[in-house]
Amino acid sequence: MAMRDDTAGIADNPFLAPSTLPYQLPPFAAIRTEHYLPAFEHGMAEQLAEIDAIAGAAEPPTFENTVVALERSGAVLDRVSKVFFNLVPSDGNAELEAIEAEISPRLAAHADAIHLNAGLFARLEDLYSRRDELGFDSESHRLLGRYHTRFVRAGARLTGAERDRLREINKQLAADASAFGQNVLADTNAAAPAMADADELDGLSADEVAAAAERADGSGGYVLALQNFSNQPLLATLNDREVRRRLLAASLGRGLETNAALVRRMARLRAERAALFGYESHAAYVVADRTARTPDAVADMLGRLVEPAVTNATREAEALTAALREDTGDPHAALHPADWRYYAERVRKAEYDVDSAALRPYLELDRVLFDGVFHAAGLVYGITLTERDDLVGYHPDVRVFEVSDADGRALGLFLADFFARPSKRGGAWMNELVSQSTLAGTQPVVVNNLNIARPPAGEPVLLTFDEVRTMFHEFGHALHGLFSDVSYPYFSGTAVPQDFVEFPSQVNEMWMVWPEVLANYARHRETGEPMPPELAERVLAAQRFGEGFRTVEYLGAALLDWAWHSLAVGADPGGVEDFEARALSAAGVAMDAVPPRYRTGYFQHIFSGNYSAGYYSYIWSEVLDADTVEWFKEDDGLTLREKGERFRHNLLARGGSVDALDAFRDVRGRAPDIAPLLARRGLGS
């Protein structure tokens, strides 16, 4: 690539030194595309030199000259990686994707060069063998243990041909993950169904029709954007049954051709890598370092949910089929997957008198953000957020907020990037741009990405209830990063086991329907009148409706992930669609009317993200979440703020510096109980 010869890429590269902006906010105004690759190359070379110096030191290993030195290494690489790997999914383009495709396998090789450095591991091994004699404080003791585990799980004890094969596998997997994500973005944009006639959009709001016309880019037609999950929100209101089928078919078909070969190879390579480490499958390898610990624990938990979830969903399907037959006048009409959301909306409206479209005027984005999300954080934790118009993000849509504690102490920065755009991959996520660490002297800078459809210019941004939930959820991740109070970057913020990381964000969803919070933000955009109490009550009652569907579609995705990653080394999964059908049938969740929340072709969590054999984490974390919500509601003599402080300081602030389930016990006073989850989802006996 020509940019390699651009010496300006290093001479004026903003990644080579810490940012001078408040909180070391990356200097986005100064960052250009040509800076990334030179910064990656410089950062990798610099860190390898640092690693060689640690490994080759003449002095005997100490915690300071080995573990702390390892924590301090790679500062340039860390800065460029955090910015780049947030930018690619949130505002990607062909140049950035080309860099991603090149640098991902090189970064995998770089990680291997560190983890497979025999001299470095020998020093860690020596310290680890004497860890109980050296008088470490608890966080330092845990840091040494985590590094030792990480190196072992990365292959430090492999030798010869096994090491060489591990390097090849990691390099190929990194390249495939990059390609998978890029394919999903391209397929999602290409598959968005086009309509020639506005009549086909009957049922959509005027704003939604106008947005579809804008996406058609002046062609005179309409384009329905796809979101990155199976059942599209517009299925709830499109009156034309054939259009609904077209929309769902476009959604479900993404990636089946472009990503099939990648998926098959990635599944086989992950199984082979697990076998190198002595595990029977990638799933077994992954959960060994999670709170679940064993595949049996995951299988047992998922298995307990399948039968009641399918029973509930079957009961819901019967009600929806009755509504369909009444609507069509056909006593034999069968419920199609594209009909589910449409008739669920009708049944919900009839049974609870809740019209999702009628809710939206009460859910204006800025009011939800300031008077809902931020207001709740103030009630529970005492913090305030102030918009900083003088600070800029990586895209004009990005807003920057300064976060202050109850005593006025500055905590960090929160960046909000809420709108969908063709350059953004689907879904919602939180990233850290700067991680908190007293060792590094840094405070957190975190970003939330959502995919809210932008209305026509001048129109208000009105949300669905699901989008409100997503805002609260992702801000829960942001709080986990913002409240971090650890010494070492290794443990900062959300650096916790994968099947624990969703727990704090799921807890934060509770505040969206907390009466004081809901009354504060759910106000009509034109009149300012609060949502009528009876409507709010019906909304809350309707939350239980559809739990069968939601649980089955989630379990479908979780069990697909588990099936792909339970393959033994050398096993041939066969064709993707056949594999899916067999896996869902074997797991007992093969309901024709309820597709998995993600099908294989666009399941970015597990094929381009870090959730392989880990999508179960959402429901595993929800066990902790539901139990914690019950605790927040209990009348035990503690005020809401007192409970917020306990949750913050005993769990959120600790990051990965303590055992995850010990942190839960420090809050709840006991081990987690699954009963509140079963009650929440209507899955009790």
Q: What is the DSSP string of 318-372?
A: HHHHHHHHHHH--TTPPPPGGGHHHHHHHHHHHHH---HHHHGGG-BHHHHIIII
State the residue for tokens 């997997």: 173
Nearest to 609 by CA among 433, 435, 481, 426: 426
Answer yes or no: do 398 and 291 share one domain. Answer: no
Least confident of 6-20, 34-48, 49-63, 322-336: 6-20
- CATH value at residue 127: 1.10.1370.40
State yes or no: is 257 an active-site residue.
Answer: no
Answer yes or no: do 389 and 526 share one domain. Answer: yes
Q: Which residues contact 49 (CB under 8 A, 6 or more apart)?
A: none
Across 583-612, average pLDDT? 96
Across 202-217, average pLDDT? 91
Answer yes or no: do 496 and 577 share one domain. Answer: no
Asked whether residue 477 is domain-assigned, the answer is: yes
Asked whether residue 184 is domain-assigned, the answer is: no
Average pLDDT value over all residues in the chain: 94
**pLDDT tens, residue by residue, 608-655:** 988 999 999 999 999 999 999 999 999 999 999 999 999 999 999 999
For position 503, what pLDDT does the model report?
A: 96
Across 336-349, average pLDDT? 94
Answer yes or no: do 500 and 559 share one domain. Answer: no
Answer yes or no: do 624 and 655 share one domain. Answer: yes
The whole-angstrom separation of Cα 28 and Cα 425 is 20
For position 5, what pLDDT does the model report?
A: 45
Asked whether residue 536 is domain-assigned, the answer is: no
DSSP strand E in 196-297: where?
Answer: 222-223
Residue after which a domain boundary falls, among 530, 553, 581: 530
* Number of domains making up the chain: 4
State yes or no: pLDDT of 8 exceeds 60.
no
pTM > 0.95: yes or no: no
Nearest to 178 by CA among 272, 108, 80, 229: 108
Task: State which H helix or E strand residue 414 sits in.
Answer: strand 410-419
State yes or no: pLDDT of 346 exceeds 60.
yes
State yes or no: pLDDT of 334 exceeds 50.
yes
Beta-strand relationship, 445-452 and 410-419: parallel
Residue after which a domain boundary falls, among 497, 530, 563: 530
Asked whether residue 646 is domain-assigned, the answer is: yes
Of the candidates 100, 208, 345, 474, the residue annotated as catalytic is: 474
State yes or no: pLDDT of 685 exceeds 80.
no
Answer yes or no: do 37 and 120 share one domain. Answer: yes
Beta-strand relationship, 410-419 and 399-404: antiparallel
User: How far does the chain reach from its first CA to its final CA, in angstroms?
Assistant: 62
Asked whether residue 64 is domain-assigned, the answer is: yes
The whole-angstrom separation of Cα 90 and Cα 95 is 14
What sections of 192-240 are H helices per DSSP? 206-215
Answer yes or no: do 515 and 379 share one domain. Answer: yes
Neighbouring-strand partners of residue 536: none
Answer yes or no: do 514 and 564 share one domain. Answer: no
Asked whether residue 560 is domain-assigned, the answer is: yes
Q: Which domain holds residue 456?
A: 360-530
Nearest to 446 by CA among 435, 456, 459, 432: 432
The whole-angstrom separation of Cα 569 and Cα 284 is 12
For position 684, what pLDDT does the model report?
A: 67
Asked whether residue 268 is domain-assigned, the answer is: no
State yes or no: pLDDT of 533 exceeds 90.
no
The whole-angstrom separation of Cα 654 and Cα 444 is 14
Answer yes or no: do 367 and 391 share one domain. Answer: yes
For position 534, what pLDDT does the model report?
A: 84
Classify residue 240 as left (phi > 0), alpha (psi -120 to 50) or beta. beta
For position 9, what pLDDT does the model report?
A: 66
State yes or no: pLDDT of 535 exceeds 80.
yes
State the number of CA atoms in the 13 A half-sphere of 307 facing the CB. 6
Answer yes or no: do 385 and 497 share one domain. Answer: yes
Could you tell me which residue, 508 or 459, shows the higher pLDDT? Answer: 508
The whole-angstrom separation of Cα 103 and Cα 24 is 24
State the residue for tokens 């924590």: 71
Number of residues that make up the chain: 685
Asked whether residue 227 is domain-assigned, the answer is: yes
Answer yes or no: do 514 and 466 share one domain. Answer: yes
3-class secondary-structure state, position 412: strand
Answer yes or no: do 32 and 88 share one domain. Answer: yes
